[in-house]
Structure 1
Amino acid sequence: MLLKKIYLKNIRSYKEQEIFLTSGSTLLSGDIGSGKTSVLLAVEFALFGLQPGQKGASLLRNGATEGCVKIELEVSGHEVIIERTLKKGKTINQDYSAIIINGTKREISVTELKSIVLGLLNYPKEFSKKQNLLYKFTVYTPQEEMKQIVLQDPETRINTLRHIFGIDKYKRIIENVTIVASKIREEQRRNEGLVANLEQDKSNLITKEEELETKFFNLASIEKELFLKIEHREKMQEDAELIEEKLQEKRKLEGEVEKTKIMISNKKETLSSNKKTIETLRKQIEELTKLRFDESKLAQIKQDMDSKKELKKSLNDENLKISSQISSLNLKNDENKNIKSQIMHLEICPTCLQDVDPNYKANVVNQLDSAIVQNIKQIKDLELEKKEVIEKLLRLDYELSLNEKELRDLEISKIKLQQVDEKQKDLSEIEKTVSFLEKDIVLLEKHINMLKESVLNLSKFSNLYEEKKKELELALHEEKMAEIKVAELKREIEFFSRQIDELKIKIEKTESIKVHLAYLVELENWLSKNFVSLISFIEKNVMTRLKVDFSQLFAKWFLMLVSDSLNVELDNDFTPIIMQQDYELDYAYLSGGERTAVALAYRLALNQVINSFLSKINTKDLVILDEPTDGFSEQQLDKMREVLEQLNVSQLVLVSHEQKIEGFVEHIIRFKKEQGETKVLVVG
């Protein structure tokens, strides 16, 4: 894999920045805290997204709501661009993710993108849902985590290495085989219990087949008895149904009697109501005929009201005219007052630009005052005239309201007199209805007497039906008892048949289980004694080979970084052992530079062993070292040149604030933070 370009927007101390990388060795140089490590964290985020336990706030720039990382790289001949974004809501989460491979863009989910990246890097699939330890120990380890694996307790370290190399699968295989063998033994015990009664089941099968034959013989005799009972019950049922028809006819007639009674009752109620209505109408007609109405008086009132309305309209017009005259005179006075004010303050004529004669001004003012006084007198006269008009209008309104009330009273009397004919017509119709109702009641009473006579004739069938009903119930009971006997015997036959079938199936299955039991005994013996030993042997050999290779490489890198007085090797738990003249030294008592050398040598050795063991991964030609010389002496810094030359990778990226390292690399990119924002300068 070759990193080509990194684009950052609102990532940690970066607002918006592009960084270009090439093959060979490149130094990311700058003061501590200038943003060098942020670039490496952004690359890891672009490749794998947020890691377990990692929060988006650790990457998104303070105050920003959105951030973006885009990297361009070359993997196995493919041109790849990966883009991921962060978005701030209640929390900061991954928002958008996309990948472009050889110009073809796909916008996909976060997990889908990680799966595709793992495929491009040729990493094992089991890393898709876990932390990217393989990337961390082969490509990039953050500065604060470099010494972590060295300081871990032995059990955690060995389990981490097992996971990285995929050797933990052997442990899982043995654990799974132990579980499988235990389940096989459990199944053995169950199967042994299942085959214990095989011979007894065969004997029971013969006995039940003999009993079933006897029950089939008894069934034929009981079914003949049931047939005779059914014939007798059907005869009783026919007789009962004939009588039931007569009783249904009787019930129908009784229902007709009740309906007729209801009809008579309803008609009598209607008749009574109509007679009351007739009495009421007669009284109303008598009262209405006493009313008197004078049509000429109605016309006279309407004519009088029309005259008053015409007069009211004329007075309103006159009032409007007077108001208009008053407004006009007031407007003239306002204009005269305005002109007077202007004349009094006028010193120079605006037309001829000469001084205005005071006598002329006094003459004009007197004329204006005279006009104003005359207008005021006319206004007062007009207001008196308007008051008289308004008083006339008020009197007219009062007289019109009296006329309207008198008109309404006359019109109501007219309407009431018009209702007399309608009520006479209604009275005639209701009297006819009363006559029809009285005739209907007579006919219905005759009909009900005929129905009662028919009901009486059919009553004799009631006692006869009770006798037939008892005979039918007895026949039904006898038939039911015979059916129960047949059903019980059939159930017994079905039960015995099912038991026989089940026994046959059980015997067949037990015979099969007996064969399977022999196979389980043989399989469990092979798994427990042979397979587990084989897996343990393979695991031991693999771990031994890894330990030897790892230890040799660890010693090689360490000797390149420190004096010959110290030697290192690995114990069986891959714990570093530091020796000085046959004495073991505690890691905690080493100098800062020596501790860094141990961690760096361990990291480089682990990188080479992983790349050798997993030779098909596509990140083996890329190494990123984050402040690998922390605490180094001048002598150790000089030795770093040889270390870097020995790495032999296509692309090496170093992060360091040591100026001396600049002479060991081919390219330098400088980082500088100004007012909280990182700027990048490519030196060469």
Structure 2
Amino acid sequence: MILKKIILNNIRSYETQEINFSKGSTLLSGDIGAGKTSILLGIEFALFGLQPGQRGSSLLKNGKEEGGVLIEFEVDDQNIIVERTLKRGKTISQTYCAITINNEKKEFSVTELKSKILEILNYPKEFSKKQNILYKFTVYTPQEEMKQIILQDSETRINTLRHVFGIDKYKRILENISTINSKIREEKRLKQAITENLEQDKFNIIAKENELESKQYNLVSVEKELFLKQEKRKKIQEEQEEIAKKIQEKNKLEQEIEKTKIIMLNKRDSVSENERLIQRIKEQIDELSQLSFDESQIIELEEKINAIKKEKEKLDLVILEITSQINSIYSKIEDCEKLEKKISHLDICPTCLQNVEAVYRANVLNKLHNDVSEGIKKREILEQEKAKISKEIIRNNEEFNFNQKKLEELKILRLKLQDIDEKQKRIQEIQISQISLKNDLNLLEKHMELLNNSIFELKKFDDIFKLKQDELRQALNSEREVDIKVAELKKEIDMFSMQINELKEKLKKIEEIQKDLEYLAKLEDWLSKSFMPVISFIEKNVMIKLKSEFSKLFSEWFCMLVSDNFDVQLDDNFTPIIEHQDYEIDYAYLSGGERTAVALAYRLALNQVINSLLSKIKTKGLMILDEPTDGFSDQQLDKMRDVLLQLNVEQLIIVSHEQKIEGFVENVVRFKKENSISKIDKDF
């Protein structure tokens, strides 16, 4: 990774400032407070954003609503530009984040951009959610923070270095194993509580199975009893059905008797009716025999009726003629009256159109009046004659009706007398029917006697049927009781089978839990006695190796910086041990320059160890030293030239106010502050 430039906008004491960086060594020079450290903070913010616990107010210029940083750098021949902005609201927060890779720009969220930067720098993924500790210990560490790690208690320092070296995973593994073992023990307690009754459950299953076997044996016995009860019931049913057939036969015979009784009753009624009919016919014959009849009376009456009919026809013709004459007279009188009325008011003749004289009109009217009077007289005479003839017709009709009635009576009498022979024949027919009916009655009586005898023989089956019905009821009740026993036993067997299956299933699960318990015990034992010691051993060896290399490098760098006969090394907790003339000197009793030398040597050694351990990270070619010579003597400052030459990095950025350092570097950028605003001193 090579830094190319950074643009600060409203960051700390800067308003707008662009700083360009070159390869090789560069010194950021200037008086204390000129804004040199702000550039380093800007670089860190541009790459990783605000860190946990860091406030935006530590970066955004007071009184400004918005600010930001743009940084351009190069990684593996890729030109990368990163932009981040800060905005003041209720709090100061990051708003805009973007990255441009080879002129292709993309916007990201804060966390996405940090992940992308870590990916580009090839930092391990486990550092994505942590502070930029790897960056701080390999690229840029404020000098006071490096002194702080030396002054920390040993446990905190060891944990920090574990994290930096990436070997805190061993401690996490051991901690996780302890947690896992704790959970395993808890799980074992739970499973032991479940499996403590395992043998009792096995005994319960055996007891249930024995009881089930006993019930199955009882079921066979009861089913056999049920079979015998069913056979007995079937036999009784068959006997009852046979008896029922006899009773049916008896019922049919009784129905036959009822039918025969009805037939006999009908035949007796027929005999009685025939006797009455014969008596009635004989009486009719006797009555008819006493009647006298003369055929000539009928002939005489018929001739008389014919004469009356002829007379009636003549009178009808006369009436018709008189009626016609009367109607004709009525018509003539009506015509005369109409003509009389018309002439009475006629002044001009409609035919010749001449005036009608009064004399002529009077003569005509007089003639018409006479004609009407004469017609009325003729009509009255004809009406009188018609009335006379009508009376004659009525008398004629009465005489006709009387004779006609008398003729019909004579004809009826003749028919009755002629019917005597038929009645005699009818009597003979009825008498023959009577003989047949009586014979039938004799046969039916004999048939009735046979039917009654048969019914008498079959009546005994009524009582037998009742006995069989009671016997069947008892058999059914007995069968039902045994059937209920069978059902209850089957239900109990099913319930026991289900309970046994449930117990077996439960036992199977408990046995699985027992296996799990045994596995957990073995696992706990292996983790505690085998795995944890191995991890501890590996961690110890790794730490020993790192400490050895770290201690060697630390000693080399320190010897380059301090000329006195100091012997320095690291103990097992990576605490610097400083000895002078075989006496151990506490860090606090060193001079300021010596303390700075210890911190710088520690920093450079740590940088080398990390870059060696994490050889693929992209920042190993970049180093930033912040006031590395604080408190150095002139002699120590001279030795810094050798240190810088030994660093062997592509890009070195040093922040220092020591002018002597300017002669040790390839590039110098001087800063100044005017009116509380930092800027590059272009006059330099």
TM-score, with length taken from structure 1: 0.58
Match of residue 505 from structure 2: 505
Aligned counterparts of 1:143 and 1:683: Cα–Cα separation in 2? 29
Aligned counterparts of 1:541 and 1:673: Cα–Cα separation in 2? 52
Instruction: State which of 202, 216, 241 in structure 1 corresponds to 2:205.
Output: 202
Q: Which moved more, 1:91-100 or 1:36-45?
A: 91-100
Match of residue 167 from structure 2: 167
What is the CA distance between 1:200 and its match in structure 2? 1.3
Task: Classify the secondary structure of the residue corresponding to 1:617.
Answer: coil
**Aligned residues of 2:219 and 2:486 also touching (Cα < 8 A):** no
Aligned counterparts of 1:578 and 1:682: Cα–Cα separation in 2? 45
Aligned counterparts of 1:71 and 1:79: Cα–Cα separation in 2? 11
Is 1:656 aligned to 2:659, yes or no? no
Is 1:109 aligned to 2:109, yes or no? yes
Match of residue 152 from structure 1: 152
Name the count of aligned residue pairs. 423
Residues 314-333 of structure 1 aligned to structure 2 (within 5 Å): none
Q: Which moved more, 1:647-656 or 1:109-118?
A: 109-118
Match of residue 647 from structure 1: 647
**Aligned residues of 1:566 and 1:579 also touching (Cα < 8 A):** yes
Match of residue 29 from structure 1: 29
Aligned counterparts of 2:218 and 2:606: Cα–Cα separation in 1? 83
What residue identity is the alignment partner of 1:199? K
Aligned counterparts of 2:218 and 2:74: Cα–Cα separation in 1? 86
Is 1:677 aligned to 2:680, yes or no? no
Cα gap change, 1:520 to 1:14, in 2 (>3 Å): same
What is the CA distance between 1:524 and its match in structure 2? 2.8
**Aligned residues of 1:60 and 1:67 also touching (Cα < 8 A):** yes
Cα gap change, 1:554 to 1:210, in 2 (>3 Å): same
What residue identity is the alignment partner of 2:544? T
Aligned counterparts of 2:119 and 2:600: Cα–Cα separation in 1? 29
| 1:225-275, Cα deviation, whole Å (9 max, x unpaired) | xxxxxxxxxxxxxxxxxxxxxxxxxxxxxxxxxxxxxxxxxxxxxxxxxxx
Kindly name which structure, 1 or 2, has the bigger radius of gyration based on alpha carbons: 2
Task: Classify the secondary structure of the residue corresponding to 2:128.
Answer: helix
Is 1:2 aligned to 2:6, yes or no? no
Aligned counterparts of 2:70 and 2:215: Cα–Cα separation in 1? 83
Aligned counterparts of 2:215 and 2:650: Cα–Cα separation in 1? 88
Match of residue 75 from structure 2: 75
Percent identical residues: 66
Match of residue 322 from structure 1: none
What residue identity is the alignment partner of 1:151? L
Cα gap change, 1:514 to 1:669, in 2 (>3 Å): same
Cα gap change, 1:554 to 1:493, in 2 (>3 Å): same
**Aligned residues of 2:592 and 2:630 also touching (Cα < 8 A):** yes
What residue identity is the alignment partner of 2:623? V
Match of residue 586 from structure 1: 586
**Aligned residues of 1:3 and 1:73 also touching (Cα < 8 A):** yes
Aligned counterparts of 1:4 and 1:621: Cα–Cα separation in 2? 14
What is the CA distance between 1:588 and its match in structure 2? 1.3
What is the CA distance between 1:591 and its match in structure 2? 1.2
Is 1:132 aligned to 2:132, yes or no? yes
Q: Which moved more, 1:603-612 or 1:511-520?
A: 511-520
**Aligned residues of 1:208 and 1:500 also touching (Cα < 8 A):** no
What is the CA distance between 1:70 and its match in structure 2? 0.9
Q: Which moved more, 1:158-167 or 1:647-656?
A: 158-167
Cα gap change, 1:16 to 1:560, in 2 (>3 Å): same
| 1:601-644, Cα deviation, whole Å (9 max, x unpaired) | 11111111111111111111110001111111111111111100
What is the CA distance between 1:32 and its match in structure 2? 0.7
What residue identity is the alignment partner of 1:125? K
Cα gap change, 1:488 to 1:590, in 2 (>3 Å): farther
Cα gap change, 1:488 to 1:75, in 2 (>3 Å): farther
| 1:438-490, Cα deviation, whole Å (9 max, x unpaired) | xxxxxxxxxxxxxxxxxxxxxxxxxxxxxxxxxxxxxxxxxxxxxxx999999
Cα gap change, 1:496 to 1:677, in 2 (>3 Å): same
Instruction: State which of 196, 199, 212 in structure 2 corresponds to 1:193.
Output: 196
Cα gap change, 1:682 to 1:513, in 2 (>3 Å): same
Task: Classify the secondary structure of the residue corresponding to 1:146.
Answer: helix
Cα gap change, 1:6 to 1:486, in 2 (>3 Å): farther
Task: Classify the secondary structure of the residue corresponding to 1:32.
Answer: coil
Cα gap change, 1:504 to 1:92, in 2 (>3 Å): same
**Aligned residues of 2:212 and 2:493 also touching (Cα < 8 A):** no
Residues 275-674 of structure 1 aligned to structure 2 (within 5 Å): 496=496, 498-674=498-674
What residue identity is the alignment partner of 2:585? L
Aligned counterparts of 1:487 and 1:111: Cα–Cα separation in 2? 73
What residue identity is the alignment partner of 2:654? L
Aligned counterparts of 1:187 and 1:568: Cα–Cα separation in 2? 51
Aligned counterparts of 2:599 and 2:544: Cα–Cα separation in 1? 22
| 1:120-167, Cα deviation, whole Å (9 max, x unpaired) | 111122222221111111100124323111111111111111111122
| 1:38-92, Cα deviation, whole Å (9 max, x unpaired) | 0000110111111111110000011100011111111233221111110000111
What is the CA distance between 1:682 and its match in structure 2? 6.5
What is the CA distance between 1:491 and its match in structure 2? 8.8
RMSD across aligned C-alpha pairs, in angstroms?
2.9
Aligned counterparts of 2:70 and 2:605: Cα–Cα separation in 1? 31
**Aligned residues of 1:198 and 1:510 also touching (Cα < 8 A):** no
Aligned counterparts of 1:488 and 1:38: Cα–Cα separation in 2? 93
**Aligned residues of 1:194 and 1:510 also touching (Cα < 8 A):** no
Aligned counterparts of 1:168 and 1:49: Cα–Cα separation in 2? 25
Q: Which runs of 5+ in 1 are unaligned?
A: 222-484
**Aligned residues of 1:209 and 1:500 also touching (Cα < 8 A):** no
| 1:379-419, Cα deviation, whole Å (9 max, x unpaired) | xxxxxxxxxxxxxxxxxxxxxxxxxxxxxxxxxxxxxxxxx
What is the CA distance between 1:211 and its match in structure 2? 7.7
Match of residue 334 from structure 1: none
What residue identity is the alignment partner of 2:74? E
| 1:158-188, Cα deviation, whole Å (9 max, x unpaired) | 1111111122211221222233234334444
Cα gap change, 1:185 to 1:13, in 2 (>3 Å): closer
What residue identity is the alignment partner of 1:145? E
Cα gap change, 1:201 to 1:147, in 2 (>3 Å): same
**Aligned residues of 2:571 and 2:577 also touching (Cα < 8 A):** yes
What is the CA distance between 1:207 and its match in structure 2? 4.3
Aligned counterparts of 1:553 and 1:198: Cα–Cα separation in 2? 68
Cα gap change, 1:71 to 1:199, in 2 (>3 Å): same
| 1:96-134, Cα deviation, whole Å (9 max, x unpaired) | 111122222221111111111111111122222221111
Aligned counterparts of 2:25 and 2:682: Cα–Cα separation in 1? 14
What is the CA distance between 1:7 and its match in structure 2? 1.0
Cα gap change, 1:79 to 1:213, in 2 (>3 Å): farther
Cα gap change, 1:521 to 1:588, in 2 (>3 Å): closer
Aligned counterparts of 2:491 and 2:661: Cα–Cα separation in 1? 97
| 1:9-60, Cα deviation, whole Å (9 max, x unpaired) | 0001111111111210000011111111000001101111111111100000
**Aligned residues of 1:65 and 1:87 also touching (Cα < 8 A):** yes
Task: Classify the secondary structure of the residue corresponding to 2:529.
Answer: helix
Cα gap change, 1:44 to 1:204, in 2 (>3 Å): farther
**Aligned residues of 2:205 and 2:500 also touching (Cα < 8 A):** no
Task: Classify the secondary structure of the residue corresponding to 2:196.
Answer: helix
Is 1:60 aligned to 2:63, yes or no? no
Task: Classify the secondary structure of the residue corresponding to 2:10.
Answer: strand
Task: Classify the secondary structure of the residue corresponding to 1:116.
Answer: helix
Aligned counterparts of 1:55 and 1:170: Cα–Cα separation in 2? 33
Match of residue 343 from structure 2: none
Aligned counterparts of 1:651 and 1:495: Cα–Cα separation in 2? 85
Match of residue 438 from structure 1: none
Match of residue 183 from structure 1: 183
Task: Classify the secondary structure of the residue corresponding to 1:668.
Answer: strand
What residue identity is the alignment partner of 1:113? L
Match of residue 360 from structure 1: none
